[in-house]
Amino acid sequence: MSNTITAHDFVVVGAGSAGCALAHRLTEDSDRDVLLLEAGQPDDKEEIHTPPLFPELYRTAVDWDYYTEPQPELHDRKLYHPRGKTLGGSSSLNAMIYIRGHPWDYDHWADLGNDGWSYEAMLDHFKRAEHFEPGDGDFHGEGGPLNVTTLEDTHPVSEALVEGMAEAGIEHNPDFNGERLAGSGFYHVTQRDGKRCSSAAAYIKPALDRSNLTVETGAQVTDITFDGDRATGVRYEQDGTEHTAEAGSEIVLSAGAINSPQLLLLSGIGPAAHLEEHGIDVRVDLPGVGKNLQDHLKVGVVYEQTGGPEAPAPSSNVVESGCFVHLDEDEPAPDLQFHNAPVYLLEHGLTPPDDDRSFFTIIPTQIRPDSTGEVRLASDDPYHSPVIDPNYLGADGDIDPLVEGIKLARDVADTDPVDEFCGAEVHPGPEVTSESGLREFVREHASTVYHPVGTCRMGDDDMAVVDDELRVHGVEGLRVADASIMPDIVGGNTNAPSIAIGEKASALLTE
């Protein structure tokens, strides 16, 4: 295989939520030359840009199509784990929900010793990223690349569910990204003119005419090159040709919580015993690489829909409304989230109902898990999917929010506003009422809500992978900037925080 060599100031691996933001900001200075590498192809599929069609992207060429290891607490099921493999990464496949999380999330990161990561500090990066269509203010920005807006056309069932949640005691909240997170309401979405505004649409498409930005797709990075303790570049394969991209300043891994640790491990950075098991020379014995995998687990409660339109509007993100609830009032932040959809949304939308009725789905989501898992190598082949073992429900008590969430979903469905549209409960069904029955239902049907984080955890202890400036411990010239650096998972959807991490990384690299 032939080899070509190119030289750049910065090499960014992964054109996902964080990587696109980082590459855009770095190339605002024309003196910086940046190469952005993406293993997937361009985001040309129409389903990417048409909001309600995102389930049709799963298990296609724009999806890494991962599966977990059998999960003991979920009846040994292997859970499907979609990840974006295209420009924009998972921001090109997700439900476009824009949620930052609770201020406590970031203050907690700072309390763990990560200077500069408090909510007050991170708010600047959120606002810098954002063009908030309803208007800027204390909590929102204007003029940023990422368009954040309210839904153009909400479904009557979604509207009834918002009213029903309020009637069930969940106070209405018009802005989950404002003064408070708790409450019920409609989600803000990353859309522009009714189309998806992925990180690629926001940050990369407007920058493609910059002479100092090179974007390569179909570029599978295989390992990192070194000169002593300094990372000097990456090797990648594209169209049958091997390339070496050298970085005069730094390399930044933004390949996500699955692929960033995989690439570190393939390059000899990780737990020594695991690397030796796969015949990989140990460059840095860094035991935390791939550990601390955290994710949010969800379960769907489905009802027959007896009125209203059969389908959401063409601009709908499907999961239009929701809420954040304190089940444990002693907790500093909400521990349960709802994702509500005016459609049948089980098995990731891949399995249609077996009859012609219309349905709506209330989806309790456990957002503060104590369980942690890991990502590890299956082999030393960079094309071999890594082993993904989230250890779902491995910690005592992690199942409780989902069980209580089902009960609360039933309370919402029983309110007057929802009654107009609510027929029979079809999943789990009215016969499932006992505590043991609900727990069994969760174990049989719970699935990921696509928020893996934490596998290159930020900190200064023995299990940390990067420091609070995102530099990989034990080497020079190498950083990680994506959801993998989160010390603990945020209590909400992870796309907005990932973009803010990219913004933060650009500030660290250019200060």
Q: Looking up tokens 């910690």, which residue turns up?
A: 395
CB 320 within 8 A of CB 154: yes
Task: Report helix angle 495-510 to 17-26, nearest 10.
Answer: 30
Residue type, 485: I
Q: How many other CB atoms sit within 10 Å of the CB of residue 463?
A: 12
Please tell me the distance from the alpha carbon of residue 162 to that of residue 155, in angstroms, as a whole number. Answer: 11
Concatenated DSSP letters of 206-241? GGTT-TTEEEESS-EEEEEEEETTEEEEEEEEETTE
Q: Where are the beta strands (DSSP E) in 353-489?
A: 358-366, 373-376, 387-389, 422-427, 447-448, 478-480
Residues 6+ apart with CB under 8 A from 228: none
Please tell me the distance from the alpha carbon of residue 370 to that of residue 245, in angstroms, as a whole number. Answer: 39
* 339 tagged catalytic: no
Nearest to 491 by CA among 326, 288, 301, 260: 326
Q: Could you check whether the bond before residue 271 is cis, i.e. omega within 30 degrees of 0? A: no
Please tell me the distance from the alpha carbon of residue 480 to that of residue 179, in angstroms, as a whole number. Answer: 30
Please tell me the distance from the alpha carbon of residue 54 to that of residue 450, in angstroms, as a whole number. Answer: 13
The distance from CA 152 to its chain's CA centroid, rounded to whole angstroms, is 24
Please pick, among 125, 296, 339, 451, the residue that the annotation labels catalytic: 451
Joined tokens for residue 273: 């015993």
Q: Looking up tokens 């859309």, which residue turns up?
A: 191
Q: Hey, which residues are catalytic here?
A: 451
